[in-house]
Amino acid sequence: MRSHFLLILSVVSLTSCGIKNDYARFSSLAMTHPPKNAKPLSLHIAVEDFRESQDVGYIKNGLEMKTGRIISKAPVSQVLYAATLDSLANHGLLVTSPGPLTLLIKIQKCFSEYTTGIFITRAKASIILEVSLISQQQEELYHQVIHGEGLESPVFIYSGKNTGKALSKALKNTLDTLCQDLMPILGKDSFKEKLSLPEISHIPLS
């Protein structure tokens, strides 16, 4: 019995030692160049991070024990800001300057977890954004909570690199949904007319 306990203890020590925090890089996976027919747009974009932790994932050892943190290489708010610009451009709206409209993005969740099945391990990322479009007169033209997910599979190591791949897919899906929502509004030739917004249904923030 004692020998078995010592064996387990040695395995835990071997799989835990030397583990450090890791860093993740992620983006919206948007194309480098926007479409040639992209419409110039004046829009102020503000991104606020409401997450309680700056971590975007964690590292586990061979015994499924959490042994390290995964942190975004760049501030998540900066990543979201740049990704929003890229995603709008790829949907045909090229933000060229600040304008009377404000797109306020509140980050509620940006995290990836590793899930292990019988034969495969996956990195599953989840991003939740609360988004408002506000006019110069402080009228809320749009407000939704948008949830996007991304899956990287299979993965063979718990790392910031694999976490970043899953987060990039989740960010792309989230911003694609946002841009599809905003196109009927921001694609209008004039914001002087009263905007009637379509019915939109998303996963509620829990």
Question: Looking at residue 16, what is its pLDDT?
Answer: 44
Look at the chain and count its residues.
206
Write out residues in the chain with pLDDT < 70, as ranges: 1-19, 30-32, 188-206
The domain ranges of the chain are 19-26+43-186
User: ω before 98 within 30° of 0 (cis)?
Assistant: no
Per CATH, the architecture of 19-26+43-186 is what?
A: 3-Layer(aba) Sandwich (3.40)
Helix residue ranges per DSSP H, 36-159? 76-90
Question: Looking at residue 29, what is its pLDDT?
Answer: 78
Question: Looking at residue 77, what is its pLDDT?
Answer: 97
Instruction: List the end-to-end C-alpha distance of the chain, in Å, as a whole number.
Output: 47
Long-range contact set of residues 191-197: C-beta below 8 Å, sequence gap at least 24:
191/100, 191/101, 191/135, 195/141, 197/141, 197/142
Residues 162-190 have pLDDT tens digits of 999 999 999 999 999 999 999 998 876 54
Question: Looking at residue 188, what is its pLDDT?
Answer: 67
What phi and psi, each to the nearest 5 degrees, are found at residue 20? Answer: -125, 170
Question: Looking at residue 18, what is its pLDDT?
Answer: 53
Residues 63-89 have pLDDT tens digits of 778 889 999 999 999 999 999 999 999
